[in-house]
Amino acid sequence: MGVSRRGLLAAGLAALALPGCGDGEQTRTDPDRKVEVFSWWAGPGEKEGLEALVADFSRNNPGVEFGNAAVAGGAGTVAKSILATRLQNDDPPDSYQAHAGLELAADIEAGYVEDVRDLYQEQGWLDKLPTGLVQAITVDGAIYCVPVNIHRSNLMWYNPKILAGMQLTPPVSWADFLSQADVIAGRGLTPLSIGPAWTQKHLLENVLLGQLGAQTYAELWTGGTNWEGPAVLAALRLYTGVLARSDLAAPAWDWQPALDKVVAGTAAYNVMGDWADAYLRTKGLTFTEGYGVVASPGSDRVYNFLSDSFTLPRGAPHPGAARKWLVECGSVGGQDAFNPQKGSVPARTDTDRSKYTGYLAAAVAEWADDGTRVVGSLTHGVVANTAWSAAIDTALAAFVQDRDAAKFARAVAVSRT
Ligand code: GAL
């Protein structure tokens, strides 16, 4: 945890009263000597990317001490509540991880983050990022974060040896998955592994995407698609069928152990974003021999995207160093150090493609392909603000138990803010 501004002031006064004891405080208040960065990249498959970015940052900024304030837990579920408390208590880190898109809207409204458009001008970033991404992070002409990557949510991971043993190829539709599921269950395997609530939401968005198609899916978040109409209700019922073929009764405690079941061959498939690629590589597995991946059923040629970005909180204790961190996040060198380790493609369009191999070579090509349709992730902050997303969490917790599609659809529709 950092130190509140009030705490710093008190500590500063104490240092004045006790000469010789103020060195530590001097370090903390020096705008360039230290940077505390808050993220949720603490677990395997996440921390390696952060470490690579930090190593490049430290090479470029030898005088700045990096304070790693990462809080473990997939999708930041734990980190986000700790961060919210810190921001409310006027105790911000120097920079925090946030998704590009509507997730940041409430923090912007609360005045927690600074506009960093001047950095974009200084660094020439506006021409180096995809227009759609810049639009997703611009609010009334201001820009409140620096994107470091693009992740893809709609992917289905599998163990090729296990599928070959059952003479199966990955399903191309959710109906196809359901018929395969009987074969898989007949062999004593779990058709689909699942983890905690956010992974159930992650699965939901990708079942909706696969069933409804990109356009109708995108309009779920903009008001153009009727949540209570027959197409969405049918997709929601199909979701309950998918859940019934999962190990929801004994879910994994996070996304990594859910993937472990696929690696071990006790489950056939797992739907997860491409941070899974980084994790599977940490297990010594290689793409395509050790693991395989396809677009989640029905979403071929669609990129359900999310983007990790970093902010400059208002009242950051070391704003000078925080700006250096943001410059690193937005740089070619930083992105090319981070993304090959993280399992994501760079947010910038002018990076060195030769650094992206295995799964990532295909991801970089698909992301850059004009024929790829781009939609935004619900679970990872792009398409819904935090209030609506939290209301969906509450409704989903009930839905996975009672399987009442109409009740869920109504709850989602009425909670849109
Ligand atoms: C996402 C985040 C990814 C990855 C994933 C699993 O929300 O954007 O970078 O960390 O959670 O924790």
Q: What is the pLDDT of residues 241-269, one digit of tens each?
A: 999 999 999 999 999 999 999 999 999 99
- The pLDDT value recorded for residue 242 is 98
- Count, residues in the chain: 417
- The pLDDT value recorded for residue 323 is 98
Please work out whether the CB of residue 76 comes within 6 Å of at least one atom of ligand 1. Answer: yes
Rounded CA-CA distance 313/97 in Å is 11
Residue 6 pLDDT grade (very low, low, confident, very high; cuts 50, 70, 90): very low
Q: Choose one of 38, 39, 40 to mutate for the ligand 1 pocket test, by most ligand atoms within 8 angstroms of C-beta.
A: 40
Residue 26: is it exposed, middle or buried by C-beta count within 10 angstroms (0-12/13-18/19+)?
exposed
Which whole number is the average pLDDT over 231-250?
A: 98
Please work out whether the CB of residue 74 comes within 6 Å of at least one atom of ligand 1. Answer: yes
Distance 200 CA to ligand 1 centre (A): 14
Residues 306/380, Cβ–Cβ less than 8 Å: yes
Main-chain phi, psi angles of 2, to 5 degrees: -85, -165
Please work out whether the CB of residue 310 comes within 6 Å of at least one atom of ligand 1. Answer: no
- The pLDDT value recorded for residue 417 is 84
Residue 195 pLDDT grade (very low, low, confident, very high; cuts 50, 70, 90): very high
Residue with CA nearest ligand 1 atom 5:
75
What strands, in cross-sheet order, belong to the sheet with 345-346? Answer: 345-346, 149-152, 302-306, 373-376
Distance 19 CA to ligand 1 centre (A): 45
Please work out whether the CB of residue 75 comes within 6 Å of at least one atom of ligand 1. Answer: yes
Terminal-to-terminal C-alpha distance of the chain: 32
- The pLDDT value recorded for residue 29 is 57
pLDDT at 3 over 90: no
Residue 25 pLDDT grade (very low, low, confident, very high; cuts 50, 70, 90): very low
Closest-lying ligand 1 atom to the alpha carbon of residue 149:
9
Please work out whether the CB of residue 308 comes within 6 Å of at least one atom of ligand 1. Answer: yes
- pTM, to two decimals: 0.93
Which whole number is the average pLDDT over 312-326?
A: 98
Please work out whether the CB of residue 254 comes within 6 Å of at least one atom of ligand 1. Answer: no
pLDDT at 1 over 50: no
pLDDT digits (tens, 9 = 90+) for 39-48: 999 999 999 9
Please work out whether the CB of residue 46 comes within 6 Å of at least one atom of ligand 1. Answer: yes
Which whole number is the average pLDDT over 229-237?
A: 98
Main-chain phi, psi angles of 191, to 5 degrees: -60, -40
pLDDT at 7 over 60: no
pLDDT digits (tens, 9 = 90+) for 348-373: 999 999 999 999 999 999 999 999 99
pLDDT at 158 over 60: yes
Maximal CA-CA distance, the chain: 76
Closest-lying ligand 1 atom to the alpha carbon of residue 255:
6
